[in-house]
């Protein structure tokens, strides 16, 4: 069992890797918690290394923040969004969408930010 304190990052936007087991299939989990107040997270399961892009958009389709853009190793990864834009400004309450894409797969998850 991994001690969660080992993965604590005071700047919550980032990616952690769970190296204990490799997934059999590609999978993206829903945002948790949802609705969220300060930080939302979701998991990406990659059976093999892949290029991953994860971008948050507002309800108008405008890009808010790029969370991931690069090659990730096989495994289960936790991606965090701290409710900030790319310019590090706080976003208002509302509905946001995160588009996660790999070379062969894509999924959009809905996140509700409440303050």
Q: CATH no. for residue 84? A: 2.60.40.4070
For residue 95, cis peptide bond before it (omega within 30 degrees of 0): no
Instruction: Tell me which residue range forms the domain holding 71.
Output: 4-113
The DSSP symbol for 60 reads T
The answer to whether 69 and 53 have CB atoms below 8 angstroms apart is: yes
User: What pTM was computed for the model?
Assistant: 0.79
> Number of folded domains in the chain?
1
Per-residue pLDDT of the chain (115 residues; tens, 9 = 90+): 444 444 444 444 555 555 567 888 999 999 999 999 989 999 999 999 999 999 999 999 999 999 999 999 999 999 999 999 999 999 999 999 999 999 999 999 999 999 8
Residues in the chain: 115
Q: Which residues is 91 bridged to in the sheet?
A: none
Q: In Å, what is the CA distance from 25 to each residue of 20, 28, 47? A: 15, 10, 5
């Amino acid at each position: 069992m991994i001690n969660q304190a080992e993965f604590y990052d005071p700047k919550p936007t980032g990616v952690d890797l769970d190296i204990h087991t490799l997934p059999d299939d590609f999978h993206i989990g829903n945002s948790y918690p949802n609705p969220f107040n300060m930080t939302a997270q979701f998991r990406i399961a990659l059976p093999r290394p892949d290029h991953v892009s994860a971008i948050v958009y507002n309800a108008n389709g405008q890009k808010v923040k790029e969370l991931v853009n690069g090659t990730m190793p096989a495994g289960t990864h936790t991606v965090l969004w701290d409710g900030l834009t790319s310019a590090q400004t706080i976003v208002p309450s509302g509905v946001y969408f995160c588009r996660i894409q790999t070379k062969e797969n894509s999924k959009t998850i809905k996140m509700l930010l409440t303050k």
